[in-house]
Homo-oligomer: A and B are copies of this chain.
Amino acid sequence: MSHIKTAILGASGYTGAELVRLLSLHPNVQLKALAADRKAGMAMEDVFPHLSFASLPVLQKIEDIDFSDIDLVFCALPHGLTQNVIAGLPKHLRVIDLSADFRLRDGEDYAYWYGHPHYAPDLQKKFIYGLPEFYRSELKDAHYVANTGCYVASALLALLPLVKHKAISFDNIIIDAKSGVSGAGRVAKENILFSEVSEGFSAYGVREHRHSAEIEQELSLMAQFPIKTRFTPHLLPQNRCILSTIYVDLAKGQTAEDLHKFLLNHYKDEYFIKIMPYDEGRKMPHTHYVRGSNFVMLGVSPDRISGKAKIISVLDNLIKGASGQAIQNMNIMYGFNEETALQQLPLYP
């Protein structure tokens, strides 16, 4: 089996570190370069001592990397910066981008949500949307992949099959999402200090949030109909994972149990997606059931009010919502077994 040579840009963030951690168990991948501009010259183990048990290249500036010896780049840079960096990379490189920069297919959408025109609109068109369970065939030959956002993956994996089968109304979809703090990254900001987060809970972006654009883009594409959702992100006093509580109205003639069957059937061959047994809402997914893994769990419950249902979706934001998903995409792109390096079971407690 082939070996590929990779670089990680943005290796000093949590998703960068998570890529290193997961790739360390991948038999077909060689980690050739790690870039982190402000920390260039440092050993990775001085930035992330938990990685000191691996043998890793020293951090470099992006411009110092010899890309002629690299096949694939994971780009884990901040939003905004990313589009310029990727536009400047040698063209032979395949790229998996973990930022939001290339997720929105429409330039006007991008401009509305990010407050400026896209810097690389032509490149944007070349990106394949990296939700593996729904874009597997396109991903096989992809040169550029835009990893799905963590909140977005949590919502789409629950809703796309139901929208596809018109099992739910396209109106009145509510996604009440709760995320661990690691989603905010490793940046020294007052609002994510331990004392500001611990023992407390809050919502943010309550009026509107960029992630809804990505959710609605994919739902609307699937529905061939413009779908709007009401989305509220919240910050949990925990490090990892997202749980989305999704409220839907059933399409005429459908029951909650039907939704459950659609999901079960749709994902029956998906290694990473598990549907909880249908038992009237008693057993539903807990973030503990997926933490530290690339797995997703979905549960469906009827609602007391007839004609309505609730779906709960959980995933680890840093793995299935970011670095694990990126590796899954890579496995598809290179024809490796899709599960490679992603078979670790959840860490509990």
**Residues of A near any B CB (own CB < 8 A):** 14, 17, 20-21, 24-25, 48-54, 172, 174, 176, 178, 181-182, 186-190, 192-208, 212, 228, 230, 232, 234, 236-241, 243, 245, 247, 274, 280-293, 295, 297, 299, 301-305, 308, 310, 312, 343-349
Cα–Cα distance between A76 and B21 once the two chains are bound (Å)? 29
Number of copies: 4
A186 touches B193 (CB 8 A): yes
A196-B349, A212-B304 given; name 14 further pairs at CB < 8 Å. A49-B289, A50-B348, A52-B289, A53-B274, A176-B245, A194-B196, A199-B288, A201-B241, A201-B286, A202-B243, A202-B288, A203-B312, A207-B280, A230-B310
The smallest C-beta distance from A200 to any residue of chain B, in angstroms, reads 4
B50 A289 Cβ-Cβ under 8 A: yes
Interface of A is mostly: loop
Q: How far is the CB of A210 from the nearest CB of chain B, in Å? A: 11
Residues on B with beta carbons closer than 8 Å to the beta carbon of A202 = 243, 284-288
Asked if A295 contacts B345 (CB within 8 A), the reply is no
A304 touches B207 (CB 8 A): yes
User: Which residues of the other chain, B, contact A51 by a CB distance below 8 angstroms?
Assistant: 345-346
Q: Is there contact, CB below 8 Å, between B345 and A274? A: no
A217: min CB distance to chain B, Å: 14
Inter-subunit contact A21/B347 (CB<8 Å): yes
Is the pair B286, A230 in contact by a Cβ cutoff of 8 Å? no
User: What's the Cα separation between A108 and B338 when bound, in Å?
Assistant: 55
Is B207 within 8 A of A195, CB to CB?
A: no
How far is B232's CA from A37's CA once the two chains are assembled, in angstroms?
A: 35
Q: In whole angstroms, how far apart are the Cα atoms of A5 and B140 in the complex? A: 39
- Most B CB contacts (10 A, CB to CB) among A53, A292, A302, A344 go to A53
Cα distance A53–B3 when bound, in Å? 28
CB distance from A13 to the nearest CB of B (A): 11
Question: CA A24 – CA B343 in complex, angstroms?
Answer: 9
A230 to B202, CA, bound (A): 21
* Residue pair B239, A293 in contact (C-beta under 8 Å): no
Residues of B within 8 A of A207 (CB): 280-282, 301-304, 310
Q: Kindly list chain B residues whose C-beta atoms are within 8 Å of the C-beta of A188.
A: 188-190, 193
A193 pairs with B194, CB closer than 8 A: yes
Complex Cα–Cα for A198 and B239 (A): 8
Contact B201 A243 (CB under 8 A): yes
User: Which B residue's beta carbon lies closest to that of A292?
Assistant: B347
Q: Do B200 and A287 touch (CB < 8 A)?
A: yes
Contact B50 A345 (CB under 8 A): yes
In the complex, the answer to whether B49 meets A286 with C-beta atoms within 8 Å is yes
**A206 to nearest B CB, angstroms?**
4
- Of B174, B190, B199, B234, the contact of A247 (CB 8 Å cutoff): B174
A345 and B292 within 8 A (CB): no
